Amino acid sequence: MNEPNLSVLPTARDVDAAAAVLAKVAVRTPLLHSPALDAMTGARLLFKPEMLQRTGSFKFRGAYNKIAAIPEAARGSGVVAFSSGNHAQGVAAAAQLFGMPATIVMPSDAPLSKRTRTQRYGAELVLYDRDREDREAIARRIAHERGAVLVPPFDDALIIAGQGTVGREIAEDMAARGEVPDVVIAPASGGGLMAGVALAVKARFPDARLVTAEPAGFDDHARSLKSRRREPHRAEGRTICDALMASIPGELTFAINRELVSQGVTATDAEVAAAMTAAFNELKLVVEPGGAVALAAVLAGAVAARGKTVVVVLSGGNVDADLYARLIDGTRKT
């Protein structure tokens, strides 16, 4: 397997530059605290609620940072992306802000709410069968035919730097509180969020432990971090965490995460549903399954949290209402 070109890896300075680009358009999401969830875990838990971000997830950050870097002369041909939903919405919304056409390649079984919201931002959808077709190949073909810029979901320096503003805000807010994070845990699919968060957090808190969280079975990061080389997961079938089904970590993202991330953990679908319920009951937040997997891992004891200060990234809140209701009803105690 070829090694990635390390010269194109972003740094904490690139995250700082992305923060300046995003300053007037992105929501600076707060750090939240719940004494009840502290009591459940024996830890001090702080939450970064990215469902409050534009488009309902952190993905807007990276998409906007990438699209902002496209030269004005090249913007007329638009952008193309491939995504199960959150990146799709982030790209569509960012492109709309720049007055650019956007085409999004999405799986035909993506949640209806994500497809509908993507179209509301003015994007054209191209649906594909995730079991039979290659979404990236479809997107690259369309981009080539139209002369459009491909905006990848994670394996891109500008995307990683944009997502890293999540970690930069965490670090700044922790410093302002006079607190030090022992652990920062975030969901992982391709690894772009964690790569960016790790760059920013480690630059300010070098002793913090960074942890990825994935759905049970879809544990490519956990496997790869143990072996220190990119490994695919062995899952067959589906998970309710539809946003976290990438088969293998990205090349650029893993080159960063391999050096900065301490551990990868997983949570079952049942544990994710319980975490969604806990977020609803105690934080009054709607968290989508993929966005709740880090909280699920903490609540299930997959992370040694007791007595520590743990920052949990809740990465998004885009979930179909009927699925959300079923998951909450199925775990709520009467």
Assess if residue 1 is contained within a domain: no
> What is the pLDDT, as a whole number, of residue 7?
63
Q: What are the distances in angstroms from CA 259 to CA 80, 107, 116, 198, 213?
A: 31, 33, 38, 10, 17
Pair (284, 301) in one structural domain = yes
Pair (38, 93) in one structural domain = no
Pair (253, 129) in one structural domain = no
> What is the pLDDT, as a whole number, of residue 1?
42
Q: Between β-strands 309-314 and 209-215, what pairing exists: parallel, antiparallel or unpaired?
A: unpaired
Judged on CB neighbours under 10 Å (0-12, 13-18, 19+), 118 is buried
Domain boundary residue, one of 100, 132, 150: 150
Pair (269, 317) in one structural domain = yes
First to last CA, the chain: 53
- Total domains present in the chain: 2
Strand (E) or helix (H) holding 211: strand 209-215
Assess if residue 176 is contained within a domain: yes
| Angle, alpha carbons 1-218-294 (nearest 5°) | 115
pLDDT by residue for the chain (334 residues), tens digit each?
445 566 689 999 999 999 999 999 999 999 999 999 999 999 999 999 999 999 999 999 999 999 999 999 999 999 999 987 899 999 999 999 999 999 999 989 887 888 899 999 999 999 999 889 999 999 999 999 999 999 999 999 999 999 999 999 999 999 999 999 999 999 999 999 999 999 999 999 999 999 999 999 999 999 999 999 999 999 888 899 988 988 999 999 999 999 999 999 999 999 999 999 999 999 999 999 999 999 999 999 999 999 999 999 999 999 989 999 999 977 544 3
Give the domain extent around 31: 6-58+156-331
Give the CA-trace dihedral at 128, 186, 161, 117, to 10 degrees: 40
Pair (163, 312) in one structural domain = yes
> What is the pLDDT, as a whole number, of residue 8?
84
Question: pTM here?
Answer: 0.94
CATH code of the domain covering residue 254:
3.40.50.1100
Pair (258, 232) in one structural domain = yes
For residue 188, how far is the Cα from the chain centroid? 6
DSSP string, 266-281: EE-HHHHHHHHHHIII
Pair (69, 86) in one structural domain = yes
Domain boundary residue, one of 87, 122, 150: 150
Strand (E) or helix (H) holding 112: helix 112-120
Pair (174, 278) in one structural domain = yes
> What is the pLDDT, as a whole number, of residue 332?
46
Q: In what order do the strands lie in the sheet with 149-150?
A: 124-128, 102-107, 79-82, 149-150
Domain boundary residue, one of 127, 150, 173: 150
